[in-house]
Chain A
Amino acid sequence: MKYEVVIGLEVHVQLKTLSKIFCSCSTEFGRPPNANTCPICLGMPGVLPVMNKKVVEYAIKACLATHCEVQTTSRFARKNFFYPDMPKGYQITQFELPIGLNGYINIETDGTPKKIGLTRIHLEEDAGKSIHGENLGRPGRSYVDYNRTGVPLVEIVSEPDLRSPAEAREYLAQLKAILDYAEVSDVNMEEGSLRCDANVSLRPVGQAEFGTRTELKNINSFKFVQKALEYEIERQAKVLNQGDKVVQETRLYDSDKGVTFPMRSKEEAHDYRYFPEPDLVPTVCDAAWIDSIRQSLPEMPEAKRDRFVSAYEIPEYDAGVLITSKALADYFETSVKLLNKPKTVSNWIMGDLLKELKNDDKEIDECPVTPERLTDLLKLIDDGTISGKMAKTVFEDMYQSGKPPAEIVKAKGLTQITDESALAKMVEDVIAANPGQAEDFKNGKDKLMGFFVGQVMQASKGQANPALVNKLIKEKLSS
C-alpha cells in the first residue's frame, strides 16, 4: 500500500525579553538552579500576575512576520493539570482567543515552492525543568529547577500541510530564520529557546480523511526532526501493512537509538478544564499599535534573498545559504562593503568559512575571522601577493590563531614569487632537466604545459605566481 504522509508541527519559541511574562524575574539562561524565581512564578497563594508589555509586542511581531492576523482582543486561560514543574497547578496560556490566526510561511524543497499554513500563534508561560534523581545521585526522587517557569513563549501551530520529513525540516528552518530576523527570539534549539513537537499520520494515497496520528516530543535539533519523522513514518507504515491500527499516543524520540517510543500514558486522559484567567485582563491590540510594530519589522529572509540576487548578482543558491541567519547575511553584506566582489566573498563564506564553523560547531557571531580580516585576505589574492591556494592555508591559520592575514603571510614566508627573472631561471632549469618533454611540446604536444607548470610550482614550493609561470614557459618553448 502506498501512503501519503501528513505532518503538522507545534513549535514553542522563547521570546527574548529580559524579564518573565508575568513577573520581574530574570530570564537569563544558565543561572544557578532556582535563582530566577519569586513568589509569582513559584505560584505562591495570593500573588497576581502582571503582563509584560514587551511580550505582547514580540508576539505581535511574530504574527506579522508570519502573515498571521493579529487579533484585536486576545485573552488568557488556565490550563489545569498537576505536574511538579508547574507550581501553580495550572499553566496560563491562550485558548479560545489567541493573539494570532491564519498565517503562512513559504518553503522550498528540491526547487518546489510551497505555502505552509499556520493555524494559530498563542502566548503562554513556560514550565520549569525536572531532573531525574539519578543525575544528582539520588535515585527514586525528582528535582525541579523553576528558573524557566514563567519565561514567555509563543506556540506556533502549523496546518497539517507538510508532506515529508524534508518539508518539515525546511519549514522549521524557515520559521527559525523568520523569528531570528524579527528579533523576537534567540531561536537556539540547544538552549531550548526553540522546541518542536510533530504530529504525524499516514493515509492511503487518494484518501481524504486523515489517518490516526501520533505526537512526537523531545526533538531538539533540525536533524532529529527529520530523523524522528522518518523513523515514525516507517513504523506506522509497518503497523498499517500488518493490518493493525496506529494507536493515537504521544511518543518520545531517543536520538541515541534513533527510535520513537510511547511515553508512559498518564493514569487518566487529559482533562484540562480550560477557563478564562480571572487574574489577567484582556489584551487589546488596536490598529495603531499593530502598525507601529509593523513599521519596526526589519527586512525578512525572503525579501533579503531577492535583494541579494538582484543587488549583488549572486546565484539564488548562494543567496539562500547566506540568508539562513541574520548574522550570516550581515557578515556577507559587511564584507561586500569592504570588498566589492560579491561572488568571491560568497564563495569564501559558503566554502572555507562555513566549513570551519561547522567543524567547530560554532555560529557565525562566534567566528574568529571578522569581515575585515576575510576581505584583507582576499585583497592579498587580488594584488598578487599570494595565490588562491595559499589563501586557503592562510585562512585556516587566521581561523585558528585570529591573526591578521598579512602577518601570517609574512611569518610563513608565503609571499608569491612574482620576480620575473627569478622565475625565468626556474623555468629554464626545469626545461633543461626535461629535454624530451620540451622537444615534444615544441612539436605540438600542448598537453605538456600542465607538466611544466607543475614542475615549476614544485621547484618554487608552491610560491610561484602561476599566471607568470604559464607566460614564461610559453615564451621559452616557442622560441
Chain B
Amino acid sequence: MFDPFGLALIPLFPALAGAIILLFGPRILKGQSHWPLIAACVVSFVLSLFAIQSLQGDLGIREISYQGGHWFSTSGPNPVSVGWQFRMDPISGMMVPMVLFLSTIIATFSVGYMKDDPGYSRYFGIFALFVAAMTLLVLADNVLLLYAGWEGVGVCSFLLIGFWFQKPTALKAARKAFMVTRIGDVGLLLGILMLWVGCGYSLHIPTLLVKAQALSPEYLYMAGFLLFVGAMGKSAQFPLHIWLPDAMEGPTPVSALIHAATMVTAGVYLVARFLPFISLSPDLLIFIGFIGGITALLAALIALTQNDLKRILAYSTISQLGYMFMALGSGRSDLSGTSLVTFAMVAAMFHLFTHAFFKALLFLSAGSVMHSMGHVVDLRRLGGLRRVLPLTHIAFLSGSLALVGLLPFSGFWSKDEILVALDAASHGPNRTISYIVLTWIGLITAGLTAFYTFRAYFLVFWGEVKIPIEVLAHGNGDHGHSHPQDSYDPLAVLSDKTVAHESPWIMTLPLLVLIPFALGVGGLFGPSHTMFDFLAATPGYSAFHGDFSTSHWVAFASQVFGLGGIGLAFLMYVLHPRLAAVTKKVSGSVYNLSLNRFYLDELLTILFVRSLQILSWLIQALDRELWDKLVDSVARIPAWLGDKFRPVQNGLVQFYALAMALGLTIFLVFLAFGDRLFR
C-alpha cells in the first residue's frame, strides 16, 4: 500500500532540486549542477512506480489521493479553500512515471549536450523547476493547483526557449511562445472560472466532473470550449500552433522534453481529464476533432518541404498532437449501444505515451547530430552521416520507424487505436461524414508522416558524406585540426570524416536506453490490452465493452500509406535524387505554400499583431496628446493659485495686522450665521 503523502513528494523533490541548483549552482556546484536534478528525478520516478504499483493491484484501488495542507482560503458568501490536494489515478499514473523517466534520460543527455555552457547551472535549475511544475500539473486534484502547474511549465518553457538570450531569434521566439500560449491560458482560466461558478464553487476536479454533468448544454459547451482553448495554446493546435516551431531556438534536449514529449501534451491531458463532461456536447467534440484534424494535416504538409531538421520534428509533433485531439474528438457518448468516451481517451493517452518516447528519441538524435555537426540543422548541408555517426543513425532510424507506425513498432499500435476510434465514431447516428473525413485525414497524414520523416532520414544519413564547416568552429579543437579562419565559407562542406565524430557516451547512452522504449512500448502494452485495461479503469469513465473487428481495414490502410510514403521518400532522395528537384519544379506554388508554412505566420501577424499595434499607437497618441496634457494642466492649477495669492504677502506689517483682524471678523460672522451654510 502506497502512502498518499508520497504523491506530494513527487513534485517536491524536483522543486527542491531546482531551488538548490539555482541558489548554489553558479558559485558552488558549477559543472556538477546536474546532480540534484538527476537524483530528484530518479527518486521521484521510483516513488511514482511504487504509486502505480498499488494502483494496479487486485485490491480495486483505482486512485490514491492526498489531502495536503491548507494553502489559502477566502471568506465571503462563496468561500474558497485551496489545499495541497494531489491525486493519482490511471491517467496521471501513466503520465507521471513517463515524465520522470524521460526527464531522467534527457537530463543525462543534457550533461553532455550543455557541457561548458556558461548557463550550465541555470539550465538545470529551470529544468528541475519544469519537472516539478509538470508533475504538479498532472497530479493536481484541484483546478487551481492544475493551473499553477500549467503556468509553471509555461514560464519554464519561456525561460528555456530564451535560454540563449544573447541570440535575438531566441528572445523573439521565447516572447512569441509566451504570448501565444497566453491566449490559451486566458481561455483556460475563464473555463476554470466558469466551471467553478457553475459547479457550486468547487475547485475539486472529481466534484467538478460530477457536477458539470448537470449544467445546461450551452454552459457546458462554453466551459468546455474555453478549456479546449487553453489546450490549443499549450498543445500548439491550429491556429495557435505558430509558437512551437520557433520554440526550437531553445537547447535541443529541452525541445525533446518540453516541446515534444511532455509539456505540449498537457493540453491533451487536460481535455482527456475533462472528457467525461466535454463528451456531453457533441458539437464541441466534432470541433475538437476537426481542429485536431486540420492541425495534423496542415503540419504534415508543412513538414514535407522544410529544410531545418528540428523544425521538421516540431511540425511532426504538432501533427501528432493533432492526432491525439482527433482521437479525443471521437469520444462520442451518443452512439447506439456503446459510448466511445473511454475508448477515445485511452486512444489519445496511449498515443501520447508512445509518442513521448519516440519523439524524445528523435529529438535527442537530432541533438546528437547537431552536437557533432557544429549545430547545423540544415538538411541540405548534411549527408551520409550513417557512417560518421552510427549510433545516432540507429537511434534516429528507430524513432522514425516508431513514428511512422510500421507494424511491430510503437506508433502502429497507438495510431491504429486512434484510427479505429475515428472509424467507430463514424458509425454513429449522425455526423457520419464528418468522422469519415477525419478518418481519411488520419490515414493521409500517416502517409505524409512517413514521407517527411524518411525524407529527413535519407537526406541526413544517406547519400554522400557531407559535413558542414562549422564542425571545426564548435569546440572540436581538441582533435588538433586547425583551419585558417579566412577560409570559412558558410556553405562549404567538408568531406573529411575524421573531423566529425560520434557524440560522447553521456549522450549516446541515453539514446541507446531510449531505443527499446521508443520501439517497443506500443507493442508491449498495445496488443495485450495492458494499457487499455489500466487506463479504462480510471474513475469517472464508464466501463467499455466494444468490438471493433470490423475496423481492421484501417490498420491495413495505414500500413499501405506508411510504406508508400517511405517508398516515395526512398525513391526521391536515395535512388533518383534528381526526382526531388523535378517535383519541386512541377509542384511550384504548392511547394512554396508548404515551404512558407501556408503563410499562416504572416496572416496572423497582419490580423492580430498589426491591428494591435495600430490600436496601441492610437492609445499611446491619445495618452500623450490628450490625457497627459489634461493632467498637466490640472497640475498647473496649484501653481497658478499660488501665483494669484503671492501678492497678498506684501511685506507691510500693518497690512498683516489688518488681515488678521479681517480674518477674525470673517470667522466671527461665519460662526454667527454659518450654521445654515454647513447643514
A, B: real partners:
no
Interface residues of B (CB under 8 A from A): none
